[in-house]
Amino acid sequence: MLRPQPWPSGHLPSPRRWLPGFEPADPDTALDAVLTRYLHAYGPATPAQFARWLNASPAWAAALFARAGLRPVEVAGERAWLAPGDTVPARGEPPLVRLLPLFDAYVVGSFPRELLFPGAAAERALARGQAGNHAVLLVDGVAGGVWHQRRSARRVDLTVEPFATLTPAHRRELDAEVARLGEIVGLEPRLSLGAVTVGVHA
């Protein structure tokens, strides 16, 4: 049975304090579930990337991957693994644009960084190599810009700085994201394309 390294604090309080009747799963079953859900969200991935995400030993992660029956694939010339049933997205899928907030799990947890933050994105959307410090415009799965919002009593003003010219399809997707954000915050949205001049965490 594989066991992760203990938490630095020694141990965590039992979930039974908040969930009466809770019964933990078998350790191996629980570890397999964590790995599968990680790969659903961030795969294809390597044992080293999973170990970093979980703050665990790389050797322990490699052993977990080895017994999990994962499917190996090649990503940018390197070997990585997918959870059973998952597939690598096909090229030519419909365009996708998302406005990701500060410290969104997708940008914080995804590796390798050079694939998620290509070219100018590494300098503009990362802070000393750390992800999450800037709100990111996601374009077809990679960082394609940064953005910022400013709210008033009745309106939310959004400034979006794309790193490349957006196609008409991407622009329609962006307009839909802006409208959706306005609905979420209950304010009239107004979009401007241009430089984002605020610093990190703004």
E-strand spans in the chain? 71-75, 78-82, 97-100, 136-139, 142-151, 155-162, 188-193
What pLDDT score does 92 carry? Answer: 58
| Contact by Cβ (8 Å): 64, 2 | yes
Hey, how many other C-beta atoms are within 10 angstroms of the C-beta on 6?
9
What pLDDT score does 8 carry? Answer: 52
Ranges of each domain in the chain: 24-82, 97-193
Supply the CATH classification number for the domain 24-82.
1.10.10
What's this model's pTM, rounded to 2 decimal places? 0.74
Hey, how many other C-beta atoms are within 10 angstroms of the C-beta on 182?
17
| Contact by Cβ (8 Å): 151, 181 | no
Reduce the DSSP state of residue 43 to 3 states and report it.
coil
| Contact by Cβ (8 Å): 75, 44 | yes
Hey, how many other C-beta atoms are within 10 angstroms of the C-beta on 65?
20
Distances from the Cα of 160 to the Cαs of 97, 130, 170, in angstroms?
Answer: 12, 20, 13
- Digitized pLDDT (tens) for each residue of the chain, 202 residues in all: 555 555 455 566 778 888 888 888 888 899 999 999 999 988 899 999 999 999 899 999 999 999 998 989 988 888 999 988 888 766 656 778 999 999 999 898 888 888 899 998 999 999 888 888 999 999 998 999 999 999 999 999 999 999 999 999 999 999 999 999 999 999 999 999 999 998 777 6
